[in-house]
Chains A and B, each alone.
Chain A
Amino acid sequence: MAGVTRLIAARVGMGLVTLVVISALLFFATDLLPGDVAAALLGPQATPEALATIRATLSLGDPAGMRYVHWLVGVLHGDFGRSLATGRSVVTVLLPRFANTLALAGLAALVSVPLALGLGLAAAMRPGGRLDRLVSTLCLVTISVPEFFIGYLLILIFSVQLGWLPSLAVLSGGMSFVQRLGAVTLPVITLVLVVLAHMLRMTRAALLSVMAAPYIETALLKGLRRRTVVLRHALPNAAAPIIAVIALNLGYLVVGVVVVEVVFVYPGAGQLMVDAVGKRDLPLVQACGLAFATTYVILNLIADVVAILVNPRLRAA
């Protein structure tokens, strides 16, 4: 087990380095964009005097490098700064929105991961069978249609025509758990359809490639049931790529869903980051970027560790 601990420690260290690099990239890339927060806030009708007043208040005149170092020192002390646009603390702005994003992603993952694994396994049991063909067609459809279109289609059917579910996923303090669940049902279904195909196809493909190995043939020839062969002998060896793909899709559920947020007017962190970039609100952009990057780093870390734990050969190494 010491190997695993060392591995985790190494991965955490690399993750931290990644985050610092990302924060620098984000900061200087956003700085390259035309315009600054003053121009973005006041719009085309700004007078030069008003622009100068805002710039002076926010010390935008300082060189970018200096502002970055200031920011980095602040973050290391746990201070993410204040939004340039509103003066509110970045943490209080970001936390509720990021929690919303995680809740939506979590629900979608709870539904999509078991579904993808189950259907993938079932399809791999009988390649070319009726279920396999049905699942393959479903995958092709959902993977070929852009996610906003799936969203609009679901709204058209379930909100506009049938009137069963709301088209706006608006959450508010006074809502009960059941009401919240109802509000996010359509976005969750959309997200499930978006990420399902990738995980499902990978499960099926990884299993089938292992199934072609000679030791599987041996297992089958000695009279084991196909089901046992798939679950006991094939699945552990196929797990690594499946886990990697699941991690990738879970990451996507957190950071890549801004389009779904827009379609369903869901107050998540993606829309927050888009707004922040539009207003050149650097501290907020930085915080969103770091939150997203951390999510990816953590998910990949978990995926690596789990892949090692389920595979005895990797565990020994």
Chain B
Amino acid sequence: MSPPLERRDFLRAAALCGTAGALGGIASLSGCAVPDGSGDTTGMLRIGMAGGSTSDSLDPRTYVDWMPINIGYQLMNGLVEIDDQGRAVPELLESWEPQGDARVWTFTLRQGIVFHNGKSLTPEDVIYSLNLHRGHTPSAAQAVVENIVGLRKLDARRIEITLQGADAELPATLSDYRLLVVPDGFADWAHPIGTGAYTLEVFEPGVRCITRKVGGYWKPNAGHVEAIQVLGIGDAIARTNALISGQVDVINRIDGRTADLLRRNSRFQVIRSQTGQYAVFAMNCEAEPYAKADIRLALKYAIDRERLLKTLLNGYGMVGNDQPIPPNNPYFATDLARHAYDPDQARHHLRNAGREGLEVTLEVSDAAFFGALDAAILYQAAAKEAGITLNVRRRPADGYWSAVWMQAPFCGSYSDGRTTVDAAFAKAYKSTSASNETRWHRPEFDRLANLARGELDPARRRELYGVCQHMICDDGGALIPLFMDHIEAGSDKVRGWKPSAIYDLMGQRIGERVWLA
């Protein structure tokens, strides 16, 4: 399982070889491995990004925000990589094989990998790095690996992972951005040692980070710039200004209106990724009146999703249908009932529940998702047509996730896209999930979802996941009005930049993937 050479990349490399040959007379093949044609690493890539804080640390166990994650991927490598098509492809783990029922897996390490301190990569390093997140640990990734019950070295280049419940997509699960590899026993997180393309030069948490290229990076076709500077710029207007005035090359998290303005200028490029990030108004299925399925359906029919997509996101997104799998996912169930805006249908369900003239309170803050407050106000107006009085209660952004989320019976929330359907279900829909924000507990759903996770036959898995999506869509407490695109922008000098399959900035791996013209 080695990454396939893309046809386009091959053609480009071939064309560049031709040019170099014509100009210089000599074109060595190795020089053509790098797509910028020169074979040199040049320039400093300057990234201005939201998602940094003074409390950031480079310890992968602490990664919950995007700036440290981006820097982490510059310094260290993961076990498995997600390519721009969303497929799990090898990184430090070169190949894998499930045994029988996908409960026991064998992984083979890539050979000849060397850490920045000169040590060679061994199975012990991988096991140590995974164990950082297992058992008695402060790691934010504990939930990702809690399915792993056994982890052992088979020989000098293979490890075996034993799971509690079978997982046919374990490699994708192992692509989590916190599962980065450091040498066995390593603990000096102020100066991480990894196998990445860059080493740390300056790190001021939340403010600034500079990394520099190390010679002889093992990954082909990666690590094209000499140095990378990441600046933490929390304010969206300040980020845009920094790009326009030429102080940074790349910015993340811009809104639809800014994207449309930047598009008009040929000096800039706008990259739009449909990664399955969604907004949700979560109803507590154990609290009145949301415990009644008819009330949940009435509220789902009373929101005008098309209008939200147009006014809130300027069209940069997709209409959601109250279940977490986006339409561009291969496992998306195409035959779901559409919850389009339909006041009559909403009234019908209210009558069924005997609650005409329903009055509910929705608690939101812009911390929940981009434009959550505006979305709630638009919802309020639409719901009025269905005879529903929707009170919008604005709550402070600070402390929202402690004081409102999972506390208020009807409140705003969001989720990033997930690498697998199972991860999306496990986050908020399985009974066992600590963040089951709708308190929707259906043993039948849990059973089907776990069955699908262990199913090695893709067709059968798709069928089972389809049933699961029906259950969430028809019965669940999550009102998912929108899938929101990630929009990022940059100078036209940045080349090799593609939309992300997961998260943004090429899955936060932009540092080793792009080059400067």
Contact surface of A with B, Cβ cutoff 8 Å:
33-35, 39-50, 53-54, 57, 83, 85-87, 93, 152, 155, 159-160, 163, 166-168, 170, 172-173, 262-265, 267, 271-272, 275-279, 281, 284
Check A265 against B53 for contact (C-beta < 8 Å). no
Check A263 against B235 for contact (C-beta < 8 Å). yes
**Residues of chain B within 8 A of A48, CB atoms compared:** 434
30 pairs from A and B in contact (CB 8 Å cutoff): A39-B401, A41-B55, A41-B62, A41-B64, A41-B140, A42-B140, A43-B140, A44-B405, A45-B64, A45-B140, A47-B142, A47-B434, A49-B137, A83-B55, A85-B55, A86-B56, A86-B57, A86-B205, A160-B241, A160-B244, A163-B245, A170-B247, A265-B231, A265-B242, A267-B204, A267-B208, A271-B54, A279-B53, A279-B54, A284-B54
Check A277 against B398 for contact (C-beta < 8 Å). yes
Closest to A166 in B: B247
Q: CA separation between A160 and B246, bound complex, in Å?
A: 9
Contact surface of B with A, Cβ cutoff 8 Å:
48, 53-57, 62, 64, 136-140, 142-143, 146, 202, 204-208, 231-235, 237-238, 241-242, 244-248, 398-399, 401-403, 405, 413, 427, 434-435
Check B403 against A34 for contact (C-beta < 8 Å). yes
Which of B138, B142, B398 is most buried by chain A, counting CB atoms within 10 A of its CB? Answer: B138
**Residues of chain A within 8 A of B48, CB atoms compared:** 168
**Residues of chain A within 8 A of B231, CB atoms compared:** 168, 170, 265
Given A35-B403, A170-B208, A42 contacting B241 (CB threshold 8 A): no
Which of B56, B241, B246 is most buried by chain A, counting CB atoms within 10 A of its CB? Answer: B241
Given A46-B140, A159-B241, A275-B206, A265 contacting B57 (CB threshold 8 A): no
Closest to B399 in A: A34
Check B54 against A166 for contact (C-beta < 8 Å). no
Check A275 against B238 for contact (C-beta < 8 Å). no
Q: CA separation between A3 and B434, bound complex, in Å?
A: 66
Top 5 closest pairs, chain A to chain B, by CB: A35-B402, A85-B55, A34-B403, A275-B54, A34-B399
Check B435 against A45 for contact (C-beta < 8 Å). yes
Given A168-B238, A275-B206, A49 contacting B62 (CB threshold 8 A): no
**Residues of chain A within 8 A of B56, CB atoms compared:** 86
Q: Give chain B nearest CB distance to A138 CB in angstroms.
A: 25
Q: CA separation between A6 and B338, bound complex, in Å?
A: 80
Partner of B247, one of A45, A152, A167: A167
Given A34-B399, A41-B62, A45-B143, A160 contacting B55 (CB threshold 8 A): no
Partner of A278, one of B62, B139, B398: B398
Q: CA separation between A33 and B233, bound complex, in Å?
A: 26
Q: Give chain A nearest CB distance to B368 CB in angstroms.
A: 10
Check B142 against A49 for contact (C-beta < 8 Å). yes
**Residues of chain B within 8 A of A50, CB atoms compared:** 137-140, 142
Given A53-B136, A159-B241, A276-B54, A34 contacting B235 (CB threshold 8 A): no
Closest to B243 in A: A167
Given A42-B64, A50-B137, A168-B242, A275 contacting B233 (CB threshold 8 A): no
Given A41-B62, A49-B142, A168-B233, A35 contacting B399 (CB threshold 8 A): yes
Q: Give chain A nearest CB distance to B428 CB in angstroms.
A: 9
Q: Give chain B nearest CB distance to A51 CB in angstroms.
A: 8
Closest to A273 in B: B54
Q: CA separation between A271 and B205, bound complex, in Å?
A: 12
Given A46-B140, A262-B234, A167 contacting B245 (CB threshold 8 A): yes
Q: CA separation between A159 and B479, bound complex, in Å?
A: 43
Q: CA separation between A53 and B205, bound complex, in Å?
A: 23
Check B238 against A263 for contact (C-beta < 8 Å). yes
Check B206 against A47 for contact (C-beta < 8 Å). no
Q: CA separation between A263 and B233, bound complex, in Å?
A: 9
Given A50-B140, A159-B241, A43 contacting B208 (CB threshold 8 A): no
Q: CA separation between A172 and B231, bound complex, in Å?
A: 12
Closest to A163 in B: B245
Q: Give chain B nearest CB distance to A316 CB in angstroms.
A: 50
Q: CA separation between A166 and B62, bound complex, in Å?
A: 33
Q: CA separation between A62 and B53, bound complex, in Å?
A: 27
